[in-house]
Structure 1
């Protein structure tokens, strides 16, 4: 059954109340009314019972208003917390994508001595960074737009519920007061206002029943999706997975760039720093000497599979400390004046390549999550565990409180008129305003 039908009983009651009570208010004045018959024989008993009923339903209405006020505050905080969590996760994804794009772009400028990345790798970097930047900007823009819209709606709902709670509370108190004190005109005024507000409250209650059902169905759908991520659901339009081909393309290019950056460093180490060139070798000679510099461990094989480092290789995390031992002091001509195979300038260039390689390698798991949609599964799991219980609970509080308030005030309105009519003598002069109410309730 569609969730819209879950609110059908409340909406039907609201429509029946509005039409039925309105018909009684404006129906042609009847000569033999039950109010008049009650007045003839059961005044004392009716007064006592009516007063007790008025007080009981006034207490029920006040209780409902208090529950409604507390419930709306908790629902607003819970929904705002859920929204902030989703926005935060989206912002983290955007930031990570931009970081990947930034590191890839920086890799194009990396050089160690006269060794650069191959031209085809630089072209691929340009293509993939364009896609990443566009995806990040789109996600960021849509997230901000949707966040503002949802926050605006949540604020409006909160204000509406606070106003309803305050107005219905005031209405319940004034209705009892005016009817008991016999203030005919004021009693009829709050009755007319209550007639309209009760209808509105029934409608809002029905809407919250629908919202409660939607929240429950969404949480169930999230749980089903977490268990079976390949199934197509309506949630695909809420937080869609990143296109697998795009994510895999980005991951492959980041691995290629990492491989090539490590290759640039190792090419310099193997072909230049670890070789003893004669002074007439031009730029290749800078008087390098001493123990050989260990090469950098490449985290990937040529086929992009994981590579296990050997004992003669340095890893990303200890390369800076290890290579610092091979730095020589340089003369004014830029050549080594002490034993060593790396000039300070070479060391800086090598560490720039290492830092970028490590950064891209570090973002590998993030790109894998983009490809297999694990990041969406993590978001849904957190929402199911930490946010769904509160949203379901507090939305239930609200529609129960609205139902309590609307029903309590509805009965109160009827008994305001009963009580007032019994209290008023049959021959009381009636104003034009109250004429439509006189003798119209049977």
Structure 2
């Protein structure tokens, strides 16, 4: 585990170097990651702009009803309150933009727009009050869902590509857990060293004990042999 902390620290300090984690964490360079993020912002901006053009130029366009044989595609008997436009989170230069009053954002646009949907006839003309046909509502909902996904998840995905998310995670692990881990590892090392020393001393004492026991055994045998020889010599 200590080696893991060292490997994480080395990679965090220099992710482009040839480290132990370099092969399993192939990271995109920051310039490429930022370019990818910029492209995702452009897609979000364009989708929101297209949706707002439809709302402004078609849904909220109060054109007079022409003769039935000459109805333009912009007229489908839309009526009622105007549909609120979608909040575009970016300016044309891709800088962040705050929503204006009356705009709906990605989180509630589909629910709000549902109130402006009308029922249609067979020729796709509104027969009830409303400014969005079911087909228009579906297409606008799809555009919002795509924009919502890009807006909320692109930064996280980019952080995975350039490994900034991994870097932050490793830093948090190193700061929060590695110091205690190093301390515990040190204690474990000291404990193992003490156990090893105790085992070594036990072996030494056991060897000394065996030597002493054998020495006493041999001494007793020698004394017994000497006593027997002395007894034999004293016999007539």
What band does the TM-score fall into relative to the shorter chain?
Answer: 0.7 to 0.9
CA contact (8 A) 2:11 2:21 kept: no
> What secondary structure does 1:295 align onto?
coil
Task: Note the residue ranges of structure 2 that are not aligned, 5 or more in a row.
Answer: 222-236
Identify which of 229, 239, 244 aligns with 2:30.
Answer: 244
Separation in 2 of the partners of 1:219 and 1:373? 13
Residue equivalent to 1:308: 98
Identify the range of structure 1 (340-349 vs 276-285) with the bigger mean alpha-carbon deviation.
276-285
State how far apart, in whole Å, the 1-side matches of 2:5 and 2:94 are.
44
| Residue in structure 1 matching 2:173, options 377, 383, 391 | 383
SS of structure 2 residue aligned to 1:313: coil
Is residue 37–residue 155 contact of structure 2 (8 Å, CA) maintained in 1? no
Give matches, 1:214-233, under 5 Å. 214=3, 217-218=6-7, 221=10, 225=13
Counterpart check, 1:412 vs 2:202: yes
- Residue 137 of structure 2 corresponds to 347
Q: Structure 2 vs 1, CA of residues 216 and 272 (structure 1 numbering), >3 Å: closer, same or farther?
A: closer
- Whole-angstrom CA distance in 1 between matches of 2:71 and 2:34: 44
Q: 1:303-356 deviations in whole A, cap 9, x for unaligned? A: 211122222432222322332232212223321012221112221221121122
Q: Which structure shows the bigger proportion of residues in helix conformation?
A: 1
Q: Does 1:426 align with 2:218?
A: yes
Task: Kindly indicate whether the alpha-carbon contact (under 8 Å) linking 1:327 and 1:343 is maintained by their aligned counterparts in 2.
Answer: yes
Query: Once structures 1 and 2 are overlaid, which stretch shifts more, 234-243 or 306-315?
Result: 234-243
Question: For structure 1, which runs of at least 5 residues remain unmatched after alignment?
Answer: 1-78, 80-211, 430-442
Q: Secondary structure at the match of 1:294?
A: coil
Match of 1:299 in 2: 89
Higher RCO structure, 1 or 2 (CA under 8 Å, sep 6+): 1
| Paired positions, count | 214
Partner of 2:230: none
Taking structure 2 as the reference length, the TM-score comes to: 0.74
Native 8 Å contact 2:119 2:127 kept in 1: yes
Assess if the C-alpha contact under 8 Å between 2:36 and 2:158 holds in 1.
no
8 Å contact from structure 1 (residues 219, 388) kept in 2: no
Residues 2-401 of structure 1: matches in 2 within 5 Å? 79=1, 212=2, 214=3, 217-218=6-7, 221=10, 225=13, 234=19, 237=22, 239=25, 241-275=27-61, 276=63, 278=66, 279=68, 280-281=70-71, 283-367=73-157, 369-370=159-160, 374-401=164-191
Q: Provide the C-alpha distance between the structure 2 equivalents of 1:415 and 1:366, rounded to a whole number of angstroms.
A: 64
Q: Structure 1 CA distance, aligned partners of 2:143 and 2:213?
A: 93
2:193 paired residue number: 403
Contact preservation (8 Å) 2:55, 2:83 = yes
Q: 1:218 offset after TM fit, Å?
A: 5.0
Q: Distance in 2 between matches of 1:338 and 1:295?
A: 21
Alignment CA distance shift 1:417-1:272 (3 Å) = same
- Asked if 2 retains the 8 angstrom alpha-carbon contact of 1:247 and 1:367, the reply is no
Output one character per residue of 1:211-260: Cα deviation in whole Å (capped at 9) or x when no partner: x5x4675576578x3xxx79968477275643213311321221121112
Bigger Rg over Cα: 2
Q: Distance in 2 between matches of 1:317 and 1:294?
A: 14
CA deviations on 1:161-192 (whole Å, 9 max, x unpaired) are: xxxxxxxxxxxxxxxxxxxxxxxxxxxxxxxx
| TM-score using structure 1 length | 0.42
